[in-house]
Amino acid sequence: MAEPKNDDFLDDLANAEAEEYAEDMTEIDPEAAELDALRAERDELKDRFMRALADAENARKRSEKDRREAERYGGSKLVRDMLPVYDNMKRALEAASDEQKEVSAALIEGVELTMRELQNVFTKHGIEIIAPEVGDRFDPKLHQAMFEAPVPGTKAGDIIQVAAEGFLLFDRLLRPAQVGVSSMPAS
């Protein structure tokens, strides 16, 4: 029966250690709990601060991108409104006969100079004229097919007529070139 005394001794020892630990914990517990609470609050505030910094940085980047786009593409509505002016001036120059050019040389020259200046302004502001020619391939990203017709001597998808030029503002399509397209079946 010596063994049970040994077990009792171990139990008493364990109980004494547990009581001592409990006493230590009651002495330290309010301070440790407060310290743990402060650490948790600090970690939460740090996390919120880091998120706020990230949100602010994202907002800054977004506003910078918006500013660049507004600077680059902000005038697109005005440019679209100017395209008919370009078209009409071009038609006026094309419609003038040789006789009219002789009689009204100064007027025609003024219209030509105005047209050149308009083209210079377009170039200065990133506006590129899309001027397809008869025989070019139809590109749906740049051209609008106004009609299709089977024309002998052409392949399907070839441009057979240009009705109006198109325009790009940097990399954005303002107006597609309006074209007629061959629908000639393959032979």
What is the per-residue pLDDT for 30?
A: 80
CATH classification number, 127-187, choose in 2.30.22.10, 3.30.1650.10, 2.30.42.10, 3.40.50.620:
2.30.22.10
List the chain domain ranges: 1-73, 75-125, 127-187
Could you read off the pLDDT of 92-131 as tens digits, one per residue?
999 998 898 889 999 999 999 999 999 999 999 999 999 9
Q: Taking 60 as the threshold, does the pLDDT of residue 23 lie above it?
A: yes
Which alpha helices (DSSP H) does the chain contain, by range?
Answer: 2-73, 76-95, 98-103, 105-124
Token readout for 58 is 């994202």
Mean pLDDT (the chain) is 88
pLDDT, tens only, 65-79: 999 999 888 888 999
**What pLDDT, on a 0 to 100 scale, did the predictor assign at position 163?**
93
**What angle do the packed helices 76-95 and 105-124 form, to 10 degrees?**
150
- Whether residue 22 has pLDDT greater than 90: no
